[in-house]
Chains A and B, each alone.
Chain A
């Protein structure tokens, strides 16, 4: 009866180690380097938080005016 650590070690020791062939490995690396140094396109990551903030501020202003109108 083997314990968990023994079984894990057996798996780690005996699993077949394989790698991509050399040509494939060079191709992937070259593409990744190209992607790393490619000029970045326009990013709209700022748009969503800005819109959320604008809507939130609008709601607060509207609520403030509604309370003012009620007590006037």
Chain B
């Protein structure tokens, strides 16, 4: 973007490294504990073992909960991106009180304490006769995380400005063509980013999930309940596996979806 001098790059890199340490430091502890026993606050380096991984493989409850979390996360993310894009397109289509009201409504579940969103949805589902299940969890998560997807997309659409779209329509493109050929390609990195944020939020959602679920557990619900008795060692193994898998997925996603010399800062 800018031509930066050496010292500035060095300073920025140092700051980035510090932030990465803050982000990854806390993850080291469960990962270390997945291989080594931590007794009396000291790591027993001499005695590595895979026993927590073996225990995890046998823990059907946790694995099922993890599977449910993935199902809910992917579904809610997809729905949030679709709904968020459509809502953002409408919001950016003009200025009116109705649009502001719509935006306010979309933000609401995000602004409310989760127990309020969860309880109001539970009562709503009860009164409309919709049985609680993973589907209602997906609905609850979508309502919650779409605010974030929506907001991210609106910021990008607004910075895009109307000129590109006007040019497209002036050239006789239909609204649909404009969407597919102009808007969506320009939203690509935004959609990926918003998707990851949405997934992360859904992945960790506890209270809304608990209130609108039927008999299905998700990982956060299980972890939340475990706080009473403390975490079993296999949870550390799960954390390590999730980290390894997501890092791998990131590498693959970047290689697959982004060409080596990808769109730079324009």
Q: Do A and B bind each other?
A: no
